[in-house]
Structure 1
Amino acid sequence: MARSGGRGGSTVRINGMARLRGRLEDLPDEIKEALKKGVRESAEAVRDDTARTVPVDTSGRDSRHLKDTVDIRYDEDGLIAQVGWFGQTDFYAVFVEYGTRRQAAQPSLHPALERERGKYRARLSEEVRRVLR
């Protein structure tokens, strides 16, 4: 898993088997699908955790916007997932996540990533083991 800043907001990038990208074509399709499933499950776990913990503004504005718009984008045929806010109206997610001079940071995306980090390898390994049985 790697961190990445996005243009429209704040995102994290989950890499599936980045070191083996060159060898990936040689793997059987069943293994590739197992890896994609592991990446998808980890990305969904980060997205759902982030949505549960992102602060909700109680000032009367659209207070659930960041909670409702945290999303996943997949690249590399599903082996790379980016989790975060991608819309132009989500630009302020980076200010919530990292804080400003006048507002303390209220991170939700990066803590969710850190909670998933320890499970990621185990998730991928389990999916591959399941195929090899």
Structure 2
Amino acid sequence: MARGRSHVTITGLARLRQRLEDLPDELKQALAKGVKESAEAVRDDVKRNVPVDTSGRDNRHLKDTVDIRYRDDDLVADVGWFDQQDFYAVFVERGTRRQAAQPTLHPALERERGQYRARLTEEVRRALR
């Protein structure tokens, strides 16, 4: 994660972009559905686990503003905080000299990592039936 960023990116085979162009629309939609399910799982995990109070700062706002942005025909999902008013999410996630890190975004991504491939595989299988 680049310095100062407070979101992660979930990609749906972005490296195979040229090959995706040749896929039938049904398969592209299936892959996009798998990406969406994984992105929503990460977002929901973050909402459940973001610390509510750290060092006197109320972080309930972070629960409400974690979001998903899709791009590349919904095959890429960025999950995290995108508004300027949520700049402090990076401090909660990574910590500071005075505050220990309380990461929620990366642990949520790691928990979803095992499910991601299975989600994509299942959606493609459904589309091929």
Q: TM-score range by the shorter chain?
A: over 0.9
Q: Of 117, 120, 126, which residue of structure 2 is paired with 1:124?
A: 120
User: What amino acid does structure 2 have at the position aligned with 1:76?
Assistant: D
Name the CA distance, whole Å, in 2 between partners of 1:92 and 1:85.
10
1:100 aligns with 2:101: no
Name the CA distance, whole Å, in 1 between partners of 2:73 and 2:44.
22
Q: State the superposition RMSD in angstroms.
A: 1.7
Q: Of 31, 37, 41, which residue of structure 1 is paired with 2:37?
A: 41
Gap runs ≥5 in structure 2: none
Name the CA distance, whole Å, in 2 between partners of 1:64 and 1:115.
22
Aligned length: 129
CA contact (8 A) 2:93 2:105 kept: yes
TM-aligned CA deviation for residue 16 of structure 1 = 0.3
CA contact (8 A) 1:5 1:11 kept: no
Q: Report what 2:23 is aligned to.
A: 27
TM-aligned CA deviation for residue 63 of structure 1 = 3.9
TM-aligned CA deviation for residue 74 of structure 1 = 0.5
Runs of 4+ in 1 over 3 A off after TM superposition: 4-7, 58-63
TM-aligned CA deviation for residue 98 of structure 1 = 0.5
Name the CA distance, whole Å, in 2 between partners of 1:30 and 1:19.
19
State the TM-score, normalizing by the size of structure 1: 0.91
Name the CA distance, whole Å, in 2 between partners of 1:55 and 1:103.
12
Gap runs ≥5 in structure 1: none
State the TM-score, normalizing by the size of structure 2: 0.93
TM-aligned CA deviation for residue 57 of structure 1 = 1.9
Change in 2 beyond 3 A, CA 1:126/1:50:
same
3-state SS of 2:102 partner: coil
Matches within 5 A, 1:32-111: 32-57=28-53, 62-111=58-107
